[in-house]
Amino acid sequence: MPDLENDARLDPRVKWALRNVPVTNLTDVDSRETLLEISNHPKAIALREKTTALYDALDTEEVASSAGLSVTVHEFTSAPDGNTIKIRYVRPDSNDVVPCVYYIHGGGMQNGSAFEAMYRIWARVLAAEGLAVAMVDFRNAVTPSSAPDVEPFPAGLHDCVSGLRWVVSNAADLHIDPARIVVAGESGGGNLTLATGMMLLRDGDIGLVKGLYALCPYIAGKWPQDRFPSSIENEGYLLNLHHNRGAVAYGIDHFEDGNPLAWPTFATEADVAGLPPTFISVNEADPLRDEGIDFYRLLLRAGVAAQCRMVMGTSHGMDVFTPVLPDISRQTAASIARFVRD
């Protein structure tokens, strides 16, 4: 466990936030069924409801204004399963044609929703940069989003790819510039961002997107790993990863088979060659920092136009947590906006 109080790397606001995050000692589980039982126990549900209420209280106009923005909700039919998925769409309140960020929320591909307070706020911060923000509420692997079914890989990825296709097909009605659509997401959403790119590439459809922007991507599937020192030195900062629950939740067979669409750390140069410009953003004191950097270096070896930034003083994904780090959050939003427009 790192020494929070004496870690000179951390922004004092991050220290304050981490002090208020309960440290949970998670252990291995024997099956996905066991994990689902744990996650749907009344105590777990009550804790999620309490956390939701705390985040809801932070969703204010002072934190992120809704002035000049419109918010709509759209639905599409996902392939190949035929299930219905929602997109929360936030954009400047005009008919101007603008670039689009197709955003995939975090939560380890297991939990979370585009309709939660953190993402309601983050969508407004992004849209204030003059962007359309299409947040897809894909099927999670453990707890429901607005999609009631919980399914392991590849369900969520199929929803994300199908939603991207829906946005592209409806670009004219959404007043989106189809030549400036970027897929972005943080943590598990960073995983799905990279996997969406690789699936489009395999399908011959990578031209649908201008680029990929993965923040603090959750892509290794197993921690700790000696080749990723951050998975050891930063364990316990917001994330506790030294267990098998992520791989079990998402489908242990796909981890054991080394499927790069499930866990992009398994990707080879051949899997990523041909991706569009790709931006990897990592956090200095994040257990996942080094796997993100490793993927960036893979992209370079494969000839992809790749960039990488490190957000100093932060732990996992905290640059999208606007109530704590409003200046850093808006800098990250501006970075994404420049990437979409360049």
Domains of the chain: 29-341 (3.40.50.1820)
Q: What is the pLDDT of residues 296-334, one digit of tens each?
A: 999 999 999 999 999 999 999 999 999 999 999 999 999
CA distances (Å), origin 97, targets 92, 93, 136, 215: 10, 11, 20, 26
Task: For the chain, 342 residues long, give each residue's pLDDT as a single digit of tens.
Answer: 689 999 999 999 999 999 988 777 899 999 999 999 999 999 999 999 998 998 999 999 999 999 999 999 999 999 999 999 999 999 999 999 999 999 999 999 999 999 999 999 999 999 999 999 999 999 999 999 999 999 999 999 999 999 999 999 999 999 999 999 999 999 999 999 999 999 999 999 999 999 999 999 999 999 999 999 999 999 999 999 999 999 999 999 999 999 999 999 999 999 999 999 999 999 999 999 999 999 999 999 999 999 999 999 999 999 999 999 999 999 999 999 999 999
Distance CA 327, CA 322 (A): 8
Residue 333 contacts residue 129 (beta carbons within 8 Å): yes
Q: What are phi and psi of 76, to 5 degrees?
A: -140, 165
Residue 140 contacts residue 40 (beta carbons within 8 Å): no
What predicted TM-score, i.e. pTM, was given to this entire model? 0.98
Those residues with Cβ within 8 angstroms of residue 264's Cβ, 6 or more apart along the chain or in another chain: 191, 194, 195, 198, 217, 219, 295
